[in-house]
Amino acid sequence: MFYIIIYEMRQDKILEAKTKAGNYCAYQERTQQEVRDKLYNIGLYQDEVEEVLTELITENFINEERYAKAFASGKFRLKHWGRNKIVYTLKQKNISSYCIDQAMKEIDEDEYKNEIIRQINKKSNQLSGKEYIVKNKIARFLITKGFETELVWSLINEYLKIGT
């Protein structure tokens, strides 16, 4: 009798956790690890966490490819991050290489180059001084935002004309 009561209490806790996790995922895209951490914080055991995660994946509450695409496009369009920074951050979140590759395909190459050019023009208007110093500052700024070094330098040399 005692074990039946404990079992029913655990089942109620699992059902409550699944509902909370579903709401957590419905609010915004989440990684499996974020949901896993949330379920452990609720107080589920490992086998229960994996059971709930499996159900959430099956019901399409969790989809890491969808997460990676939303993350990449959001960080590029809103935060103006480059590919390197986006890829690094997704790897830190344990997103698979396949999902990262799919997310990178969402960023249009022309739009990407236009963003770098826009950043070059914006930053060059804020800086003054010798041409090589301004170019280096702009390059450092863009590289720390995650844009590829070779592409940054190529576009700086093509589009930035100081004092002409």
The confidence score (pLDDT) of residue 127 equals 87
pLDDT tens for each residue of 22-55: 999 989 999 999 999 999 999 888 999 999 999 9
The confidence score (pLDDT) of residue 164 equals 46
- Among candidate residues 111, 110, 134, 112, the one with its CA nearest the CA of residue 123: 134
Whole-model pTM?
0.86
- Find the angle CA(68)-CA(70)-CA(71) to the nearest 5 degrees: 65
Percent of the chain that is helix, strand, coil (3-state, to 5): 80, 0, 20
CA distances to 71, 108, 126, 130 from 76, rounded to whole Å, are 8, 10, 22, 30
- Among candidate residues 141, 140, 134, the one with its CA nearest the CA of residue 159: 134
The confidence score (pLDDT) of residue 6 equals 65
Alpha-helix residue ranges (DSSP H) falling in 59-129: 64-79, 83-92, 97-105, 109-126
In the chain, the amino acid numbered 71 is F
Query: How far apart are the C-alpha atoms of 118 and 113, rounded to whole Å?
Result: 9
- Among candidate residues 21, 31, 107, the one with its CA nearest the CA of residue 67: 31
Tokens matching residue 58: 């099956």
Query: How far apart are the C-alpha atoms of 76 and 103, rounded to whole Å?
Result: 11
pLDDT in tens, the chain (164 residues): 556 666 677 788 888 888 999 999 989 999 999 999 999 999 888 999 999 999 999 999 999 999 999 999 999 999 999 999 999 999 999 999 999 999 999 999 999 999 999 999 999 999 888 989 999 999 999 999 999 999 999 999 998 776 54
The confidence score (pLDDT) of residue 5 equals 65
Query: How far apart are the C-alpha atoms of 2 and 6, rounded to whole Å?
Result: 6
Which residues make Cβ contacts (< 8 Å) with residue 36, sequence separation at least 6? 49, 53
